[in-house]
């Protein structure tokens, strides 16, 4: 037997052994055909997906990669690199909940003083004549003349002399004169004249026709109504002075967060005017009522105002840290796809295999979210390119495979698989304009049979900026796209057509005929 004949014989024996031990794929029974992208879609007969890929046969007795492989999204390694997919392991953390409050700076109402004479008179001279002027305690503000003040001084002076002249008179006369002097003195005090000014009158014995009013506190003139020569009436406010050594931050806490706010709690305050500075204060007051128009509760925070940096009316951001409830399973905030009615997290089963799971969330921190249900400690979750995976592989169809589509899934017949929402569509055309900054491309495309669209020029968003590489206006292309949101068409694949003559396509108005 020659060398070649021997090899053929050995090969024949090998084939006979294989056939005897295992049936070939031709002999094995095909159960159904599955989607090549791993979506929850099967067919009893051979067919292709919207991208032109053949469905793969599933043979009887053939094991699947995972127990829930029909619910997985499968992405090729090349596309993973293009999309920039990154993952992070779900881990245990202690989350401090942050309640954020917007507010504004206001003066401390307990440190606002009004200068309001208690008698009628005229302003002779102003020493402080501008709003916003800084004044020290005891600094002269204005000088007034009042006939009533002059008359009261005369009464006090006469009573004081009467007490001295009746020194040797009867006890009753002295008592009555002392009572008159005391009443005159009390009248002056009740008008707000200081002890120092009254003592000066008593020592000099002279009647002063004017009286100088002084600032009772060190602060800023926040209101000024006084004018030289004006007449004022008793109780009329002429000046308002605010001591700004301590100020308030008045903010509104949302109704659902008010249970976390307690008196005396420490807060961190950020002021837009001083982004590099952090101010710390305490909650001094929580309103007992709710503002019905905003469903918020006013709170008040006291802040020391060193150097009077904080001005009334400034905008402030308050962060109130609430202690967590111990170690909990957490994922980054970017890992959650929030549709408004449910929250989905993509869990990486293995390289290129992702399983969408609906999760129940708890406490929210600065960077992480507590996961109560849906993800276990140690599982890897996708933290970037989530929406790109959605566009590339019809994530909603995979979610629909295990009942997450709600009413849409309910409408499906018992033996049918939920229809993918993000169905891919194919078209051909020429590049009209490219906006690489915003990831947009305008294409003059031909009819799209799957959507019953006529030829037109319209704008598309691209799933990845790399799809725009090597493209320029006038290039003939074939492309695939999906509807990610209502009216938002996203291109998932672009292929230049070589050796193709560019034929102008009639242009209609944007999205005409949709």
Mean pLDDT of 490-499: 82
pLDDT given at position 388: 62
How far CA 19 is from CA of 11, 12, 15, 135, 297, in Å, comes to 12, 11, 6, 105, 80
pLDDT of residue 429: 93
Q: Where are the domains of the chain?
A: 3-64, 77-95+326-410, 117-236, 246-322, 425-496
If DSSP codes are grouped into helix, strand and coil, which group holds residue 433? Answer: strand
Residue 110 has pLDDT above 50, yes or no: yes
> Measured between alpha carbons, how far is 107 from 244 in angstroms, rounded to an integer?
6
Give per-residue pLDDT as tens, 402-440: 444 333 333 333 333 333 444 678 899 999 999 888 889
Architecture of domain 246-322: Beta Barrel (2.40)
C-alpha distances out from residue 82 to 49, 375, 467, 493, 511, Å = 22, 26, 9, 12, 29
pLDDT at 153 over 70: yes
Q: pLDDT digits over 222-272, tens only?
A: 999 999 999 999 999 999 999 999 999 999 988 888 887 888 888 889 998
Is the pLDDT assigned to residue 485 strictly greater than 60? yes
Once rounded to an integer, what is the mean pLDDT over residues 377-392? 74
Residue 449 φ/ψ, nearest 5 degrees: -65, -40
The pLDDT score that the predictor gives to residue 104 is: 93
Separation between Cα atoms, residue 476 and residue 492, nearest integer Å: 17
Contact 219, 205 (CB under 8 A): no
Rounded distance between C-alpha atoms, residue 94 and residue 209, angstroms: 73
Crossing angle (nearest 10°) for helices 195-204 and 147-165? 60
Over residues 10-41, the pLDDT tens digits come to 333 334 333 444 445 556 778 778 776 655 56
pLDDT in tens, 348-368: 888 878 888 889 988 777 788
User: CA dihedral defined by 40, 41, 46, 48, rounded to 10 degrees?
Assistant: -100
CATH topology of domain 425-496: OB fold (Dihydrolipoamide Acetyltransferase, E2P) (2.40.50)
Does residue 505 have a pLDDT over 50? no
Architecture of the domain spanning 77-95+326-410: Beta Barrel (2.40)
Kindly report the pTM of this predicted structure.
Answer: 0.47
CATH 3.30.70.20 is the classification of domain 117-236: no
Quick check: 500 pLDDT over 60?
no
Angle at the Cα of 380 from the Cα atoms of 377 and 384, rounded to 5 degrees: 130
Dist. CA 32–CA 426, nearest whole Å? 26
Q: Among 69-78, 386-395, 412-421, 494-503, where is mean pLDDT lowest?
A: 412-421
Check if 117-236 and 425-496 are the same fold: yes
Region label for 203, one of left (φ > 0), alpha (ψ between -120 and 50) or beta (otherwise): alpha
């Amino acid at each position: 037997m020659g060398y070649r004949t021997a090899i053929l014989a050995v090969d024949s024996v090998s084939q006979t052994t294989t056939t005897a031990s295992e049936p070939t794929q031709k002999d094995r029974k095909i159960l159904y055909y599955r989607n090549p992208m791993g979506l929850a879609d099967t067919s009893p007969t051979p067919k292709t997906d919207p991208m032109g890929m053949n469905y793969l046969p599933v043979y009887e007795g053939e094991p699947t990669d995972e127990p829930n492989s029909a619910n997985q999204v499968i992405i090729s390694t090349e596309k993973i690199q293009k999309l920039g997919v990154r993952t992070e392991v779900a881990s245990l953390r202690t989350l401090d909940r942050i309640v954020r409050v917007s507010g504004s700076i206001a003066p401390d109402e307990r440190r606002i003083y009004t200068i309001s004479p208690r008698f009628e008179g005229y302003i002779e001279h102003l020493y402080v004549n501008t709003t916003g002027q800084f004044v020290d305690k005891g600094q002269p503000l204005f000088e007034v003349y009042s006939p009533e003040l002059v008359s009261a001084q005369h009464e006090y002076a006469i009573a004081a002399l009467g007490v001295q002249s009746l020194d040797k008179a009867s006890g009753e006369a002295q008592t009555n004169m002392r009572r008159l002097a005391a009443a005159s003195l009390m009248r002056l005090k009740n008008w707000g004249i200081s002890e120092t000014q009254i003592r000066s009158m008593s020592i000099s014995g002279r009647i002063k026709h004017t009286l100088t009013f002084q600032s009772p506190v060190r602060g800023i003139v926040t209101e000024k109504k006084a004018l030289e020569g004006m007449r004022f009436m008793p109780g009329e406010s002429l000046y308002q002075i605010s001591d700004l050594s301590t100020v308030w931050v008045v903010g509104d806490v949302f109704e659902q967060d008010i249970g976390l706010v307690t008196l005396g709690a420490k807060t961190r305050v950020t002021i837009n005017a001083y982004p590099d500075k952090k101010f710390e204060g305490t909650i001094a007051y929580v309103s007992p009522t709710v503002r019905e128009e905003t469903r918020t509760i006013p709170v008040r925070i006291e802040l020391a105002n060193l150097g009077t940096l904080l001005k009334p009316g400034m905008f402030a951001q308050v962060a109130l840290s609430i202690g967590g409830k111990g170690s909990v399973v957490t994922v980054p905030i970017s890992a959650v796809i929030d549709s408004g009615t449910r929250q989905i997290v993509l869990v990486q089963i293995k390289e290129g295999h992702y399983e969408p799971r609906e999760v129940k969330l708890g406490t929210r921190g600065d960077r992480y979210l507590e996961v109560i249900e849906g993800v276990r400690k140690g599982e890897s979750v996708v933290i970037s390119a989530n929406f790109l995976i959605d566009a590339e592989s019809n994530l909603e169809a995979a979610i629909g495979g295990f009942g997450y589509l709600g009413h849409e899934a309910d409408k499906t017949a018992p033996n049918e698989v939920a229809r993918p929402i993000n169905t891919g569509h194919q078209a051909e055309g020429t590049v009209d304009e490219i906006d690489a900054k915003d990831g947009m491309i305008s294409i003059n495309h031909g009819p799209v049979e799957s959507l019953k669209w006529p030829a037109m020029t319209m704008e598309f968003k691209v799933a990845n900026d790399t799809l725009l590489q090597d493209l320029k206006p006038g290039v003939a292309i074939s492309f695939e796209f999906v509807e990610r949101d209502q009216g938002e068409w996203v291109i998932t694949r672009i292929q230049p057509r070589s050796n193709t003559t560019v034929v102008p396509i009639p242009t209609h108005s944007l999205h005409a005929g949709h």
